[in-house]
Structure 1
């Protein structure tokens, strides 16, 4: 994490939650500074250090460190969710469609997969609900990630007893399609595996940056677990945005911006420098019958097989 990003997040968190502001104590002495409180929370997320470990290094008591972590994850969610867990805007869609076309998958916006976070201190009464086939108690994170490791969609909280298909049916990843507001061989297997590894790489980088996710959770409160996961994903996206220009295959988003936007994902005729025109989806007043019809279309196995055959022929 760069120094500029660190200071920008300190300012944003301090503005969102007055808890991080430096205030005098009962003796009139100034308490911990915003940077101290922010550093405590970040170290607990990145290194999974205990609250009583940071008291010597940062001069903050154990109870204050726990409080810093709780306020920090909530402040990150409140301050940055709309920006760093947003739906794709027009520029994002143009760039993602361009990248997918270049990799041999037209109209691909990302790859989807699930990750299990082990819950060591799960209450005994819930272990039957959260214990999977491997006899480990876990909570599932479903995510959609692009090639640059940006996580576009998250769905966290499904019990570990569920498989990926059940998680997909529970999540809201296809909700825009249901509501009518969405933006409308060996070689195939090899390319599909390369694209599928995007979300796996995103999970690996997320766990490498935040050890608290990589190891078994010692937290009792399920709501706090959800807050921590969401905060870590937001921080991950902020780091990706800050470091994206250093990536080998980085492309400036300016080349994907267009003045006149009329069509949905319609590629130009030029083979290289492919550009896409995208229009924003609209909220339609759908009846229950129309909603169920769209839902059945998304889950239709025959349509899925036909699309897969067309993609194999295309590649």
Structure 2
């Protein structure tokens, strides 16, 4: 999970190409806690309605949980098209954050099949920690990625 400012909040690491969205959902500790109904306190208001639970932007493969906001498959009308465009743009934040990791750290960009899972996890954790330290120290930098596309 990553936010628009490129801060990486949560990562679930497994062998490359062995995990898809549903496998991660079934195995990631954060989603196990969410499935039990426990979430971090988040308070916000939308259209006059108070909410005390965060949400995750997903696609249609995810189950119908109240914390998942899925893309509208065929949006009709200006409001739905606008919402869909903005949601899809925000969902790209994780891809953008991973692209920045690959840009900053050549070891993330190269082949990894020669490492065992523990080594791979340690490499990714170190790169993510350093990435977040850079973001914290220097703020969001322009790496040439357009997340509005």
What TM-score, normalized by structure 2, do the two folds share?
0.60
- Whether the aligned pair in 1 keeps the contact of 2:16 and 2:113 (CA below 8 Å) is no
Counterpart of 1:146 in structure 2 is 3
Match of 2:38 among 180, 188, 192: 180
For residues 205 and 181 of structure 1, do their structure 2 counterparts lie closer, same or farther at Cα, with a shift above 3 Å needed? Answer: closer
What TM-score, normalized by structure 1, do the two folds share?
0.30
Counterpart of 2:23 in structure 1 is 166
Structure 1: which 5+ residue stretches go unaligned?
1-143, 248-315
Structure 2: which 5+ residue stretches go unaligned?
42-52, 54-74, 76-80, 143-149
The structure whose RCO (Cα within 8 Å, separation 6+) is larger is 2
CA-CA distance at 1:180 after TM superposition: 3.0
For residues 195 and 234 of structure 1, do their structure 2 counterparts lie closer, same or farther at Cα, with a shift above 3 Å needed? Answer: same
Report the count of equivalent residues.
104
- Following the alignment from structure 2 to structure 1, what is the Cα–Cα distance between the partners of residues 16 and 110? 17
- Whether the aligned pair in 2 keeps the contact of 1:158 and 1:167 (CA below 8 Å) is no
Counterpart of 1:228 in structure 2 is 123
- Following the alignment from structure 1 to structure 2, what is the Cα–Cα distance between the partners of residues 149 and 245? 7
Larger relative helix fraction: 1
For residues 188 and 233 of structure 1, do their structure 2 counterparts lie closer, same or farther at Cα, with a shift above 3 Å needed? Answer: same
Q: Runs in 1 of length 4+ with deviation above 6 angstroms? A: none
Query: Which residues of 2 match residues 9-88 of structure 1 at below 5 A?
Result: none
- Following the alignment from structure 2 to structure 1, what is the Cα–Cα distance between the partners of residues 117 and 19? 17
SS in 1 for 2:14: strand
- Cα RMSD for the two superposed structures: 2.3
Structure of higher CA gyration radius: 1
